[in-house]
Amino acid sequence: MPSSLPFSNAAHHLGSMQELRSLCHTLPQADQAAQSAIAYREQQLTKPEGSLGRLEELTRWLGGWQRRTTPQLENVQILVFAGNHGVTQQGISPWPATVTAQMVSNFHHGGAAINQIAKTVGACLHVIPVHNLQPTADFTQSAAMTEQDFLHAVMLGYNAVSSDCDLLCLGEMGIGNTTAAATLAAALFKEKGVIWAGRGTGADDAGLKRKAAVIDKALSLHQHISSDPLEAARCIGGYELAATLGATLAARHKNVPVVLDGFVCTAAAAPLAQLHPAGLAHTCLSHCATTTGQTHRLASYLGLEPLLGLGLRLGEGSGAALAVSIIRAALACHTGMATFTEAAVSQKT
């Protein structure tokens, strides 16, 4: 069962968009000494150099952002932010908006996919409804959020990240949020709705067309956001996307590496990549359902290489949680394998 947050962080408060912007511009970099030490040990282990492929990279990534020469995965947190979307009144999801609250209840009773996956990978799940699941305003009519509500959601996400956390997996729940995420991606990358509209939870052809038109309508209403990623996140995002952005930002400031789950989370975090050239360097992307879809497009624009495929297209942080098993295996190899000297294995001639 997802528990309530077991810590009380010194709560960060943000009074203005400008303060948020400065937090996004002043990001720490990875610990290069830790990364070099990890790379050095990797070379001594009983395998041909580079033969564990991406697993080797993952250990360096983990240690670099944890600032530890011996990375650890004792405390793995999954945060699932939930929110509702006024834009659902445009008929952009095949599911009723009431499913958001019903799924939050399902999470609390342990009945969702994420509950099962979290258990199998030994991660602690927290589900956080944002703004009491009150919907945002329909962003085809006005800004989705006021500055105050947007900053509140960002800070809720920011303060939900514990600095004791070794790895943070982000997930979301919000009927209609694939449209919010697609609109945000369309705004950030200055492309039309048809490029970014995806089938989400199973839109049919007519639904997909409606979605593309809704995105275009929002883009023409909010033209002023085109050069301001945070304004884009406020005007056409959603509460759970804003919280995801806040948590991704907090993790960077608190030395916590992040696994982003699929399209919605990655779009939510994308403003950070536009505000800082290495803004998402502490993140990895869990999965892309296909190699042709919108997540793949977003990943390639952001320089993120998904860890998994598996046709996953659920959300809830399910892909991010699954990726923990790979990251655990990477770390187990790095810490548990013998060196050539220890195992008396001959080196390459």
Ligand X SMILES: Cc1cc2ncn([C@H]3O[C@H](COP(=O)(O)O)[C@@H](O)[C@H]3O)c2cc1C
Binding window for ligand NIO (CB under 6 A); candidates: 80-88, 211-219, 236-244, 262-270: 262-270
Closest-CA residue to 301 (of 274, 323, 282): 274
Binding residue (CB under 6 A) for ligand NIO from 85, 126, 131, 313: 313
Site string for ligand NIO, 121-160 (x = CB under 6 A): ----------------------------------------
Distance CA 271, CA 298 (A): 12
176 binds, among ligand NIO, ligand X, none (CB under 5 to 8 A by kind): ligand X
Taking the C-alpha atoms of residue 267 and residue 237, their distance in angstroms, rounded to an integer, is 9
User: Which residue in the list 42, 172, 231, 316 is annotated as catalytic?
Assistant: 316
- Maximal C-alpha separation, the chain: 70
Distance of alpha carbon 121 from alpha carbon 134, whole angstroms? 32
Three-state DSSP at 339 gives strand
> Which residues touch 168 (CB under 8 Å, ≥6 apart)?
76, 77, 78, 79, 161, 247, 251, 256, 257, 258, 259
65 interface partner picked from ligand X, ligand NIO, none, CB below 5 to 8 A per type: none
User: Quick one: DSSP state of residue 338?
Assistant: P
Q: Confirm or reject binding of residue 306 to ligand NIO (CB under 6 A).
A: no
Query: With respect to ligand X, which residue has the nearer C-beta, 14 or 267?
Result: 267
**Do residues 212 and 272 lie in contact, with contact meaning Cβ atoms separated by under 8 Å?**
no
The only residue of 315, 319, 324, 327 in contact with ligand X, by rule CB under 6 A: 315
How far is Cα of residue 133 from the mean position of the Cα atoms in its chain?
A: 20
- CA 35 to each of CA 58, 65, 69, 227: distance values in angstroms, whole numbers, following the listed order: 11, 9, 7, 35
Q: Does residue 172 have an active-site annotation?
A: no
User: Which of these segments, 4-12, 182-190, 256-264, 320-328, binds ligand NIO (CB under 6 A)?
Assistant: 256-264
**Residue 174 contact, options ligand NIO, ligand X, none, Cβ 5-8 Å cut-off depending on partner type:** ligand X
Q: Answer yes or no whether residue 327 interacts with ligand X by CB under 6 A.
A: no
By CB under 6 A, residue 271 contacts ligand NIO: no
Closest to 79 measured CA to CA, from 258, 274, 309: 258
Binding mask 81-120 for ligand X (x = CB under 6 A): ------------x-x---x---x-----------------
Whole-number Å distance between alpha carbons of 14 and 23: 10
Is residue 61 within the footprint of ligand NIO (CB under 6 A)? no
Using CB under 6 A as the binding rule, whether residue 177 contacts ligand X is answered as yes
Evaluate whether 166 touches 76 at the Cβ level (below 8 Å).
yes
Quote the least distance from Cβ 289 to ligand NIO, whole Å. 6
Residue from 71, 86, 200, 317 touching ligand NIO (CB under 6 A): that is 200
Q: What angle do CA 147, 151, 153 make, to 5 degrees?
A: 120
Question: Do residues 76 and 331 make contact, with C-beta atoms less than 8 angstroms apart?
Answer: no
List the single partner that 313 binds among ligand X, ligand NIO, none, CB under 5 to 8 Å by kind. ligand NIO
Shortest Cβ 106–ligand X spacing (Å): 8
Per partner kind, with CB cut-offs from 5 to 8 A, the member of ligand X, ligand NIO, none near residue 55 is none
* Of 170, 173, 127, nearest in space to 324 by CA: 170
Q: According to CB under 6 A, which one of 162, 178, 248, 286 is a site residue for ligand NIO?
A: 178
Which residues form the interface with ligand NIO (CB under 6 A)?
178, 200-201, 262-264, 295, 313, 315
Catalytic positions, written as ranges: 316
User: Could you list the residues that contact ligand X (CB under 6 A)?
Assistant: 93, 95, 99, 103, 172-179, 200-201, 314-316
